[in-house]
Structure 1
């Protein structure tokens, strides 16, 4: 009885404080449309709406890692969480907390929204490969390219590439075709070079993209810029036959006009000469 009596005021005070806190912090709006945007492991979390009278705090929850906070008490609706996802094979969820500007309440958990699950290794998009050099010599098209870099670094400070992370899971595909043609061929490699057999008399265009064949989704990466070889391109290759048809029509029109004008001038000259040879009237 003494213990119960002694604990009564403490319990009553706790309940009163909790009630006051709840009364002073009505239910806040929670985030909606939460999305993960990730290219080459640089990952941005985005959501809506813009806060009014409250702030957001982001919590990243991993399946095996401790909860970490980022973008604490922010008015923004996006947060770069790249540095919290270094274990790229871990699966994460984000909690977007809606909190008052004075900070999170000690007596109750603030309202929050939960994102979809995100696993960087299987969901980040592969960025565009950088083409360093390409040549067409005889019947060989040679292309050398560089792996996209990630935001993560080695102990010496140099940036890791996507190959450093994906290793043998990473492949590249080249699509190439004769210039001015729509028929495409393709080939794959696990290296950073392509050497393809082509028609030595034709120019070729091509682009490259990274591929993760083991993925069920997001298998294909972003496409590199399209480049074309140049082995003595002539005007017909550059502009097509249509331009020559137009030029020929214009040339024929000019020649025809010149001939007609010459005939007219010749007839006028003959007529003038004939008039000059006629005797004057009355002589």
Structure 2
């Protein structure tokens, strides 16, 4: 009896070993990546199509245990939304994607393959989306930008948090501006979400772009996405904003028009002189 049991266990072990190693038949998560925008954080991976499922666990580097993500147990998808799990935000998290199957088919319990993610800190690495803003003129040389903050996927005390709620004083605002029609850009950094841009040339048209700026982050993730430019209409005449090529074209047209005018005037004068001379000749013949 003991021999039969030993043979059964040996057969189960050989079967398990052949499944987990032979020909790579058990699919393992590959290309594990973190995708995060405005603190909505999703773990993604690729895998060969099969009947296997996947369970995701995460570890925050401070607590001693791996925690199973409640929405990512025995899933067939190749992504796991960990936004609600990764709290607090300012920690270095690591995830484990474990291949799962009905282990009873093999007569014994054994551990399927695991794939570990790179470490990720949502607070310091989540990408920041575009900030919306509007312009308000104060006077000819000053304009105020009113910046609004996008909502995030983080909820605290039943309130959806804005970007400012999460980053607080770490959030700065980088303003890029330039004269309309010019290629030279300047940049300024402000603490306030209503920065006042003063010292502008009176009457000139200016364009502005805004981006979130978090100097406490690593350099690669300090900048949010730049907004589309918004322009303040100046009081200057439209001709003052024309480029050199446009001025050359205008001058060429004016010279052409002037030449045509002078040529037409000369021809008309000559025709009138001929007509007048012909009339005088006719009158002279009649008098004779």
TM-score in terms of structure 1 length: 0.78
Flag structure 2 segments of 5+ consecutive residues without an equivalent. Answer: none
- Whether 1:17 and 2:12 are equivalent positions in the alignment is yes
RMSD: 3.2
How far does residue 242 in structure 1 lie from its aligned partner after superposition? 3.4
Residues 78 and 134 (structure 1 numbering): CA distance in 2 closer, same or farther, change over 3 Å? farther
2:58 to 48, 61, 69: 61
1:207 to 206, 209, 230: 209
2:262 aligned partner: 259
1:112 aligned partner: 114
8 Å contact from structure 1 (residues 137, 200) kept in 2: no
* Matched position secondary structure for 2:168: helix
How far does residue 144 in structure 1 lie from its aligned partner after superposition? 1.2
How far does residue 109 in structure 1 lie from its aligned partner after superposition? 2.2
| Separation in 1, partners of 2:83, 2:199 | 42
How far does residue 142 in structure 1 lie from its aligned partner after superposition? 0.9
| Separation in 2, partners of 1:13, 1:199 | 86
How far does residue 16 in structure 1 lie from its aligned partner after superposition? 3.7
Flag structure 1 segments of 5+ consecutive residues without an equivalent. Answer: none
Residues 273 and 185 (structure 1 numbering): CA distance in 2 closer, same or farther, change over 3 Å? closer
- Whether 1:142 and 2:147 are equivalent positions in the alignment is no
1:169 aligned partner: 170
| Separation in 2, partners of 1:194, 1:232 | 22
- Whether 1:245 and 2:242 are equivalent positions in the alignment is no
How far does residue 197 in structure 1 lie from its aligned partner after superposition? 1.7
1:31 to 29, 32, 41: 29
1:251-280 CA-to-partner distances (Å, cap 9, x unmatched) read 221231232234335435545665674799
How far does residue 19 in structure 1 lie from its aligned partner after superposition? 3.6
Question: Aligned pair count?
Answer: 270
